[in-house]
Amino acid sequence: MRRGGCRPSERYSSAARKAFRYGTSVIGISYKQDIPSNAGELTVDTETADVIDHDVTTITCVCGNTVSQDGLIQANSQGIPIFIGENIPVPAELAEWPKDGELYTLCPSCGRVCRDSVIEETGTAPVAFRVDVTAGPIAEAIRVHWNLST
């Protein structure tokens, strides 16, 4: 008697097997995380960072980064680090404080971004989206952010 109930080819629908093979999606699940969806943004399957007591300062990113390791950065809804300083103009590479007050937390190590209001309301930290932190405007904004912070 065979264990496992059915053959591997019978476990998934033909659409799911085809989607997995070609990197497309079935019922909202993207099988490839590196497919660009918007400029500078990467598609992410449902991932959740660890958080303690609805507190964004206690996030442990999916990649393992924390505030006390490589740091986490407040960002806007596009994942661009925001300028928090006072009495000087906002540097061109950084975003202004969001007019709607909606803040996100960016992991500069891997580019995962979580929405702070979701964390504060639910005590969970689902990854909202992911940005490229290795090159381009986000990488430059991170560099400027750290230079201003030191």
- Mean pLDDT of all residues in 96-100: 91
pLDDT tens for each residue of 31-52: 334 444 444 555 545 899 999 9
Q: Would you say the C-alpha torsion 35, 40, 43, 47 has a positive or negative sign?
A: positive
pLDDT at 45: 56
Q: What is the pTM of this model?
A: 0.69
Structure tokens at 32: 């490839």
Examine the pLDDT at 98 and tell me if it is beyond 50: yes
pLDDT of residue 4: 39
CA distance 89 to 108: 23
Domain residue spans of the chain:
7-32, 39-149
Q: Which two tokens stand for residue 53?
A: 């007591």
